[in-house]
Structure 1
Amino acid sequence: MLLSVIRITQIIMTKAVSSDDIYKDIRPYHDHEVPAVLKRLANDQRLIGALAQFKFPRLNRFIPTLTRRVIRGYLNGYVKKVNGVDDVQIRLTSYIQRTIETTTESLTYEGLSELDPKQAYLFISNHRDIVMDPTFVNYSLHLEGFPTARIAAGDNLLSEQYIGDLMRLNKTFIVRRSISNRREKMAALTKLSRYISESINDSCSIWIAHREGRSKDGLDKTDSAVLKMLQLGQRPETKSFALAMQNLKIVPVAISYQYDPCDAMKAHELAVKAQTGDYQKAPGEDTRSIVKGIMGNKGRVHVAFGQPLDEFSEDSGEMALIIDKAIHQLYRLHDTNYAAADLLVGKECEALNADALAHIQSRLQGLDEAERQQLLAMYANPVLQKQNWETAAEKTFIPTNRAS
């Protein structure tokens, strides 16, 4: 009898644990998981090799065994000093500060004075860089005393186990994009949406891009499919799409870079796609984009936080336009944007854009004509897009409904 009671208790406890952790495969790591994950990373040969090549390229070339031994020793020493997610983020802060100091001319931000540090928000932003977009958002939040947001990242970026581990240690949750089965994909999207909604309800802010993948062409347009996904987790309780959007406390965010370290890579991809209709990424290409985006010169960077949306529509397309309008109004244009717009139409650049013109022209070197046009367009499109929105979009956009 006693054994039966114990067995029943074990079953109940097992079910409770599993039901309480239904997001285990996509959520960030919890504090109690951090030591084991770090121990695994400290002995991951691919991570050790990548760090050795990155930190000591010449030394690693001639004496790789010694170089990797040094890296392994550093990682094992790091593991002993970290006990939870907050420790990871605190240690990352100093690295982010150094990265900003060495790869940007300045980082500025605005709008956080209008938000409440005690309130959780769904930050929906335009998307230009895989890692640095959410990094700049979270760093700005940190500087103003806000809790950092949980970060959405596609599983296409997790080509290696250690990459997924590193991201999930830093409050990243996984968007399953590689699922092909329709039923499984819908289940995964519903689970993701529910996780986002529950995070907001649990006072944890979320950062998510307004479309899948980066806006490589510089055209920032919200994908209505992303917004439809966000409603899935609130069904059947909330059948109103507008009310579901209101429940998420959406804050539009616009991130702009004076220089894009990945501009030539993006221009090549866009040119190939325009010529052939398709582009297949080479193995490790996303990883190279991540490294280049982190380490490359970004010039001036600006992050603009909008106010929480108070305008909603039952139509997902119109809801996307509401977000687009906010992002375009918040977006800060740089001199490189204006210089590229002038070059694209053969207009002589103003003296104000002389340095920007020199930078753009240097980025065009080594590119073929199709790639040159793509690179100019990606810098120029924010100018044209903002002008078009100000003159035409406001006249044609009429929300069909508001959430009450």
Structure 2
Amino acid sequence: MEQDPFADIRPYHDNEVAPAIARLIADREFIQAILHYRFPRLSGPFGWLLSPLVRLWLKRRWARLKSVRAVQLQVAGFMDRMIASTTDKVTYSGLENLDPKQPYLFLSNHRDIAMDPALVNWCLHQQGFATVRIAIGDNLLRKACATELMKLNKSFIVKRGAKGPREMLKNLTQLSAYIKHSLDEQHSVWIAQREGRAKDGNDQTDPTILKMFYMQGKKQGLSFSEYLQSLNIVPVCISYEYDPCDTDKINELWQKKTQGNYQKTEFEDIDAIIKGIVGYKGKVHVAFANPVRALPDDPDAAAAEIDQQIWQRYRCYPINALAAGNAKPDATEQAIEQWQQRLQSVPPGAQELMTKLYATPVVKQQQ
């Protein structure tokens, strides 16, 4: 730790890739997870028979992965297949205004746990940019195999389980320093604008995130706005036509509203990740803003400025117009049917929450 102050949170280096892959292949829970999701009917009675075959297949498939770039190229191939099978099309805008030789801090709205950073990465890769280092909460890394997978894929850990103010301060200071360290080493970074997905459709930047960025700048004696400008912050707006996890999000909000609380199941986040990856998303657009300049010195005002950059870049689809009550002629029968299915998938009282999830982009743009 004295030699590497970020050893416990940073992604793997090239020389750590092969050992991490070996640990993954040897991880019983990892193999069981693959069997469960790929062969749900066979994984129980024939798990003992299939497990060695899966391990052998992985060894052969991953034998040549000796570097972070090799892993990324493998992920890029997976993304191509996933986009082809679960979306109608992925489009992007704004990258023509960015420099592939510059590192950026991509501050994105947050609708899907894994797909948000993955889609940003895919768009960057298409245009010859280096992929980003991804901020991921340690609440998603309860299993050793999850940590291995994320750190292989250029993810760094955001520690959220601090037991007191002193530990929290230490964690945030380390995180702020690591983000600046990454940018100084010419590595771009992706981080969500808030902790947790915007389950109500209201994408808002948490000023606390900006304060965390500034902790390293404060050490250097820089003003808040001066330091944030030096980070090359690029607001990003990701617009999904259909959210594969919308019903689950609304059920959570409905339980909180009607029962006062909501208790997550043990593997709920993992299930949400998988559903977000394999679920149908329709059209998807990723809009990159220009790097923000001259932000206000007040964190709340700075967050509001970033929000405006995100909201004006929403790509609104017919389902958003239907939810907002602005039915347009281009709302096809399929769009109307999809919208009705979503309304019927939640309790009658919760339909207002589903409506808000899809209507908010229209409302924000009208404001």
TM superposition shift of 1:74: 1.4
TM superposition shift of 1:387: 1.2
Deviates more, 1:114-123 or 1:233-242: 233-242
**Contact 2:105–2:233 at 8 Å: present in 1 too?**
yes
Does residue 356 (structure 1) correspond to residue 339 (structure 2)? The answer is no
Q: Helix, strand or coil: the match of 1:352?
A: coil
TM superposition shift of 1:365: 2.4
Match of 1:236 among 216, 219, 223: 219
Gaps of 5+ in 2: none
Correspondence 1:153-192 to 2 at 5 A: 153-192=136-175
Separation in 1, partners of 2:70, 2:221 = 38
**Contact 1:210–1:223 at 8 Å: present in 2 too?**
yes
The answer for the alignment partner of 2:365 in structure 1 is: 386
Match of 1:324 among 307, 315, 339: 307
2:353 is matched by which residue type in structure 1? Q
TM-score, L = length of structure 1: 0.88
**Contact 1:224–1:317 at 8 Å: present in 2 too?**
yes
Separation in 2, partners of 1:36, 1:156 = 24
TM superposition shift of 1:329: 1.2
TM superposition shift of 1:280: 1.9
**Contact 1:260–1:298 at 8 Å: present in 2 too?**
yes
**Contact 2:135–2:156 at 8 Å: present in 1 too?**
yes
Q: Helix, strand or coil: the match of 1:207?
A: strand
Does residue 209 (structure 1) correspond to residue 189 (structure 2)? The answer is no
Separation in 1, partners of 2:195, 2:172 = 13
Give the number of equivalent residue pairs: 366
**Contact 1:115–1:307 at 8 Å: present in 2 too?**
yes
**Contact 1:149–1:171 at 8 Å: present in 2 too?**
yes
Deviation track 1:379-404 (CA, whole Å, cap 9, x = no partner) reads 0111112212xxxxxxxxxxxxxxxx
Does residue 303 (structure 1) correspond to residue 281 (structure 2)? The answer is no
Q: Helix, strand or coil: the match of 1:212?
A: coil
Separation in 1, partners of 2:331, 2:256 = 31
Separation in 2, partners of 1:371, 1:70 = 45
Does residue 97 (structure 1) correspond to residue 80 (structure 2)? The answer is yes
Residues 366 and 303 of structure 1: is their aligned pair in 2 closer, same or farther, counting only changes over 3 Å? closer
Correspondence 1:5-404 to 2 at 5 A: 18-342=1-325, 349-354=327-332, 355-388=334-367
TM superposition shift of 1:351: 3.4
Deviation track 1:272-315 (CA, whole Å, cap 9, x = no partner) reads 11223332211111011000000000000000001111231110
Q: Helix, strand or coil: the match of 1:19?
A: coil
Deviation track 1:44-100 (CA, whole Å, cap 9, x = no partner) reads 010100101112223324422122121111122234211011111111111110000
Separation in 1, partners of 2:131, 2:221 = 28
Deviates more, 1:194-203 or 1:79-88: 79-88
Deviation track 1:147-171 (CA, whole Å, cap 9, x = no partner) reads 0010001011112110111011000
**Contact 2:36–2:43 at 8 Å: present in 1 too?**
yes
**Contact 1:257–1:301 at 8 Å: present in 2 too?**
yes
Identity %, equivalent residues: 44
Deviates more, 1:302-311 or 1:268-277: 268-277
**Contact 2:86–2:279 at 8 Å: present in 1 too?**
yes
Q: Alpha carbon RMSD of aligned pairs, Å?
A: 1.3
TM superposition shift of 1:103: 0.3
Separation in 1, partners of 2:312, 2:96 = 18
Deviation track 1:219-261 (CA, whole Å, cap 9, x = no partner) reads 0111100000000122321341111111101111100000000
Structure in which a larger fraction of residues adopt helix? 1
**Contact 1:255–1:331 at 8 Å: present in 2 too?**
yes
2:247 is matched by which residue type in structure 1? A
Q: Helix, strand or coil: the match of 1:279?
A: coil
1:260 is matched by which residue type in structure 2? D
Q: Helix, strand or coil: the match of 2:96?
A: helix
**Contact 1:333–1:382 at 8 Å: present in 2 too?**
yes
Q: Helix, strand or coil: the match of 1:60?
A: coil
Separation in 1, partners of 2:349, 2:251 = 8
Q: Helix, strand or coil: the match of 2:285?
A: strand
Deviates more, 1:230-239 or 1:263-272: 230-239
**Contact 2:138–2:158 at 8 Å: present in 1 too?**
yes
Q: Helix, strand or coil: the match of 2:41?
A: helix
Separation in 2, partners of 1:275, 1:311 = 43
TM-score, L = length of structure 2: 0.97
Separation in 1, partners of 2:128, 2:3 = 30
1:294 is matched by which residue type in structure 2? I
User: Highest CA radius of gyration, 1 or 2?
Assistant: 1
